[in-house]
A and B are shown apart, each in its own frame.
Chain A
Amino acid sequence: QQQVKQSPQSLIVQKGGISIINCAYENTAFDYFPWYQQFPGKGPALLIAIRPDVSEKKEGRFTISFNKSAKQFSLHIMDSQPGDSATYFCAASPNTDKLIFGTGTRLQVFP
């Protein structure tokens, strides 16, 4: 119930391509779904977040798609760049405080 399942575990994309990372949850009480980006040796940094009252949110090259009925959400990175190479975590929570993180996706973008 408290888990957030994330896939794939790792992802290799060519520069300019689209990176897609998927997450699924069980707990219908979750109503806050952030994505965090983590570079080696750094803490997670909030990238973009969505609440279930909208099905999509876009910020620059990053888009969250949210499917409430399927209890799934995904991160799309358009025009992926080598600088996007990092580990991405989805998370979910009934509030913004106690985040339940997914297992992470290591993204590598090759020139």
Chain B
Amino acid sequence: EPEVTQTPSHQVTQMGQEVILRCVPISNHLYFYWYRQILGQKVEFLVSFYNNEISEKSEIFDDQFSVERPDGSNFTLKIRSTKLEDSAMYFCASSRQSNSPLHFGNGTRLTVT
């Protein structure tokens, strides 16, 4: 069964550094998302992306965050200047079309020291 692939599985970075989290969505999916989960807490929506633009973003997704689909397969989340509170598990998800179920990747654990 096709799956969403995320790399790296674990990223450690120093406060103030830029990080890029990478995702390869399922190949025929058109809608892409980032969610995050702070350790022991609920999964929170960050951003949705369709047709090469952001369709919706949460208040968490401030100017430090950006997303990009640089080619036909990758979908990236960039955090420009990481803070300690950005430490979380970041999940990429994709769906085939609007109103179809989301498929999540296994996540990237980001640790900011």
Q: Which residues of A contact B (CB under 8 A)?
A: 32, 34, 36, 41-46, 49, 89, 91, 95-104
Contacts of A91 in B (CB 8 A): 43
7 nearest A-B residue pairs (beta carbon): A43-B104, A101-B43, A101-B42, A103-B42, A43-B106, A44-B104, A46-B101
Contacts of A42 in B (CB 8 A): 106-107
Count of B interface residues, CB-CB < 8 Å: 26
Q: Which of A32, A34, A46, A96 has the most CB of B within 10 A?
A: A96
CB within 8 Å for A97 and B91 given contacts A44-B104, A45-B104:
no
Q: Is B48 an interface residue (CB 8 A)?
A: yes
Taking A36-B104, A99-B102, A101-B43 as known contacts, 4 extra A-B pairs with beta carbons closer than 8 A to each other, sorted by chain A number, are: A43-B106, A97-B55, A98-B45, A99-B35
Of the residues A41, A96, A102, A104, contact of B106 by C-beta under 8 Å: A41
Q: Which of B90-113 contact A (CB under 8 A)?
A: 91, 93, 95, 98-107
- Chain B, residues 1-45, CB within 8 Å of chain A (1/0): the string is 000100000000000000000000000000101010000011111
Contacts of B104 in A (CB 8 A): 36, 43-45
Q: Is B56 an interface residue (CB 8 A)?
A: yes
Question: Is the CB–CB distance between A49 and B91 below 8 Å?
Answer: no
Determine the main DSSP class of A at the interface with B. loop
Instruction: Give complex CA distance A45, B55 in Å.
Output: 23
Instruction: Give complex CA distance A43, B99 in Å.
Output: 20
Of the residues A43, A45, A95, A101, contact of B44 by C-beta under 8 Å: A101
Q: Which of B70-108 contact A (CB under 8 A)?
A: 91, 93, 95, 98-107
CB within 8 Å for A49 and B102 given contacts A43-B107, A96-B95:
no
Question: Is the CB–CB distance between A98 and B91 below 8 Å?
Answer: no
CB within 8 Å for A96 and B42 given contacts A42-B106, A43-B91:
no
Contacts of B105 in A (CB 8 A): 43
Q: Which residue of B lies closest to A91 (CB)?
A: B43
Ordered by A's residue number, 11 sampled pairs between the chains whose C-beta atoms are within 8 Å are A43-B104, A46-B101, A46-B103, A89-B42, A97-B31, A97-B56, A97-B98, A99-B35, A101-B42, A101-B44, A104-B42
